[in-house]
Every structure is written in C-alpha cells, then in structure tokens.
Chain A
C-alpha cells in the first residue's frame, strides 16, 4: 500500500480516465466513435495547454484566476487585427502581446509589490474581460480578412487524423515535462512554492521567478485563445468565460498543490482530460448540461480530499 500511496497523482488520474473511458464505451455507443474521441481530445487540448501554465503558477505558491479573461482579450485583439486586413503573424503577435502585458502586470504586482495573487488575478479577470468588451464594442468578429483560411486550418484542422490543438498540447506537454525536470528556473519555481524565505536566503532571485510563471500562464492562455478562434471561426468577448475554473481544476486534479511546491506537466494534461471526459460522459448519458458546473466543482473538491487522505497516509509512514 505504501508504494501505491506514493505513486504520483498524475498516474491515479490517468487510471481514472482509462477506467471511465472503458465504462463509457460499454454503456454508450457513440462514446467510442472516432468523431467523439476527436472532439474530446480537441476540447481538452485548449484547457490542457493553459493548465500547464497554471500548474507552474500553483506550484510556485500562487494562483492565476485571470486566464479565462486573458483568453477573451487576446482572442478579440487577434480577431480585430486580422479583420483589419493584417496577416496572421501580426495578429497573433498583437494578441500574444496583450496576453504578455496582462501576465507582466499580474507578475509584477505579485512579485515586486507582494500583493496577494488571488486578489491581483481576480482584478485582472475583471479588467481583461472589460477591455475585451470595450475593444470589441460587444460585436462578434467572424470575418478574419486575407488570412482567414490559415487561421481556421490552424485551429480547426487536423494532421494524421488528430486535431492540431492536440498536437500542440502534446508538444507543449513534453516541453513542459522536460522544463520541470531539467531547468533551473522550474527547480526554483518549486523551491519558492515550498519555502519562499529559504529560497531567498539561498540567493535565488525570487521575484523574477514569480514574475516568470505569471507571464507563462498568460502567454499560454493567449496561444490557446488564438487556436480556439480558429476552431470556432468567430470570436466574441465571452471567449474563455469561466475557463479559469476548469483550468485550475485540471491543475489541481493533476496533482498541483494549492499550498505550493508540487505539480507536474503530465498531471495538468491528465487532469484536463478527466474533466473533459466527465463533461462528455454527462452529455452522452443525457444529464442536463446545467449540472456540469456542479460536477466540475465537485471534482475539484474531491481531488483535494483525495490528496489530503494520501498526505495523511504518508505522514504516518515513518
């Protein structure tokens, strides 16, 4: 039992995903269809990508509530620049630039002015969403100018039968896994999350480390937004609304510890997969979609309870 309890949470979540998928393919015929699997994988790719950044923030001892709104702002800006006739490269740079700025503001306030991450990013949640409304004037943008085809194929297309966003998630997750294991910065991210004062005494530039994770988180939200408008074929200021909950749930279910100091790339992806799978299963089983929020919220709390039980078990080991 000891070794089972010490297994990483990402393994447990992956097993749960496999078990749930197994049960669903028995009870629901459309579940295992190629179309449904394609949809599930694409839907969770958008969330999984942002969850990678959120995992770094949470492992650092912070939280980023603004990712959904940053998606909205980056999506609207990208859409407007495209609609004005600019090429996709320019539009994407503008969208990512906005995301970068949001991340820099979040990070600077948390790292250098030592404001609470919860409050700062809650404020940014409101500001970025409001800016998206102001800039778009509450219009839907669906004419993306000369590069429309490129945008739609980027976010909505597939390669070797797998949706493009899924490919990007696979690449990003592998990079993130390597980053967590082999980079000095990621080591310092975890150290700050474990004991900020000690890390400072050891000569680590703590503020710079904190700034970086918020920037990463925002940038990934921006990338996800650009892919998503390519898939949707349109963008409104509501893009990414309430996504922060699903992103944070993915990270936490995947083993990121809200107290800081723990978290990994595969956990974030597995957590995002589990949430999308639960959503999809509920739909296929004919459960009223109004219940989805209750199941997602419940799964966050359940994940924390499981983590608590495992921790108590571990504490009794020696």
Chain B
C-alpha cells in the first residue's frame, strides 16, 4: 500500500534521513523506534505530507505520489500528533468534526450545523474504538485516554487506510495505555494500517507486527516482531548492535 523508496531528508547540513526504504501492507501495524533525533518524527511528517523528502520516492498503491497535508488526507492517511491538537474548550464531537462539520438545511435553504448527526456519528466512532468517551464531554474535563480516543476518532472520521500515531502512550496512565493499545488492535482488525512511533518497548511488542529501528537517520532493522526481542531492539537503538 505505502512504499518509501530510498527516501532521504536533508535540513541544510543535517541529514535527518538517509536512503530509508519502508513498506506497509494493509492492516499491518509497524512500530517505528529510535533514539531522540534518529529521524522518527521526520519520517512521520514526510508520510503525513508535512515535509517533502529531498530524495527518494513515495508510492501509494504502486503509484509515485507527492504528498501534501491535503493530498495525504485524500489518500486516506491521517496523523495523530503527540500533542493531539485538540481544542480544550470544545466537546468531543466538536473536535472530531472540527473543519469537517456536517450541515443540514433549515427550511430548505439556511445551512446550519447538524448537531444530532455529528453527535450520532461520533458516538459510533467512540463505540468502535471501545472508548467510554461521551460525545458531549468537554475535552478540558477528559482523562488522557479519552483525549487520545477523541484524537483517534477524528482521524477515523474519514475511514482512513493508514494511521500515523506519534507517541500515543506518552503522558498517560498505565490503565489508559492499555486502552490505547486496545484501540490500535481494533484499528488493525478493521484493516487499517498503523505506523506507531513509540519510546515504549512494551507497547511496540504488545501490538506491532513488525518493528523498524532508525539510528541517526538510517534504517538499521526491519523485522517481524516474533523474530526480534526487546533486548535486541534496545541494542539496535543504542548502536550496541550495528544492524539486524
């Protein structure tokens, strides 16, 4: 579905990514790991269309594509950023539909927000995610897990095919981490591919099918989760093992 061919990214003198190849199949969960500055976020932002790579090629459904934030969305690629990008003062539903509000026509002419339809749809999304978030809850009063679910529900609104998750378990409680991992499994079960950036080894080994390790802009490992171990990945991240 998604293929990166020898993708490189240069910021002035800094080579953030060097000739990275990556392939993602439908319904596959790939854990992307690496130390700070290894290039994980850069890679995610390239796939989300925020950065255009300075070299290499991106293919989507075997077609070479140039991704922009808008075209990535149109292809079915949705990103959930680490800070979640939610409006604290609005309800869960308002956040899910932010910028994509549903309308109905009052008296056949005047377009007004269709609160009922949006509430119903967001309730369905939270249901599919197995989250206890209620459509009318205000984000300010939500738990970390509920916020995460709101950001995920927003990303799922357009039925995406690839979900990019940047540190979805940072800064939330242990019980909430379990909820988020459950959400990722349910995405996979519905055929959505997930690219999961995480610092937490246990998260990646709990939900990923494959683990990709970046070190200083290079891909040093790309293997099935069953063929690897947390010890090996740690060694790959730090450089104790050169590549695997």
Contacts and interface: CB of A to CB of B under 8 A. Distances in A.
A183 B85 contact: no
B85 A187 contact: no
Contacts of B90: 187, 190-191, 194, 261
B141 interface: yes
B88 interface: yes
Given A194-B89, A195-B88, A261-B88, A201 B81 contact: yes
A183 B87 contact: no
A198 interface: yes
Interface residues of A, number: 24
A203 interface: yes
B101 A184 contact: yes
Interface in B60-101: 70, 73, 81, 84-90, 94, 98-101
B120 interface: no
Given A182-B112, A182-B113, A187-B94, A202 B89 contact: no
What 7 pairs between A and B have smallest CB-CB spacing? A261-B89, A194-B87, A194-B89, A198-B85, A202-B99, A182-B112, A203-B99
Contacts of B112: 182-183
Interface string A170-196: 000000000001111001101101110
Interface of A: 181-184, 187-188, 190-191, 193-195, 197-199, 201-204, 260-262, 314, 317-318
B86 A195 contact: yes
B103 interface: yes
A190 B81 contact: no
Contact of B85 (A184, A188, A193, A201): A201
Contacts of B88: 194-195, 261
Contacts of A193: 89
A193 to B, nearest CB: 7
Nearest to B111: A184
Contact of A202 (B70, B98, B113, B141): B98
Contacts of B89: 190, 193-195, 260-262
Contact of A261 (B81, B87, B99): B87
Interface string B133-167: 00000000100000000000010000000000000
A188 B100 CA distance: 11
A187 B113 contact: yes
Nearest to B101: A184
29 contacts: A181-B113, A182-B112, A184-B103, A184-B111, A187-B90, A187-B94, A187-B98, A188-B99, A190-B89, A191-B90, A191-B94, A191-B98, A194-B87, A194-B88, A195-B86, A195-B87, A198-B85, A199-B87, A199-B98, A202-B100, A202-B154, A203-B73, A204-B99, A260-B89, A261-B87, A261-B88, A261-B90, A262-B89, A318-B141
Residue among B70, B73, B85, B98 with the most chain A CB within 10 A?
B98
A191 B89 CA distance: 7
A201 B82 CA distance: 13
Given A195-B86, A195-B87, A198-B87, A184 B113 contact: yes
B212 to A, nearest CB: 25
Contacts of A181: 113
Contact of A198 (B73, B86, B111): B86
B62 to A, nearest CB: 28
B136 to A, nearest CB: 13
Given A187-B101, A187-B113, A203-B99, A197 B85 contact: yes
Contacts of A201: 81, 85
A69 B90 CA distance: 33
B85 A202 contact: yes
Contacts of B101: 184, 187
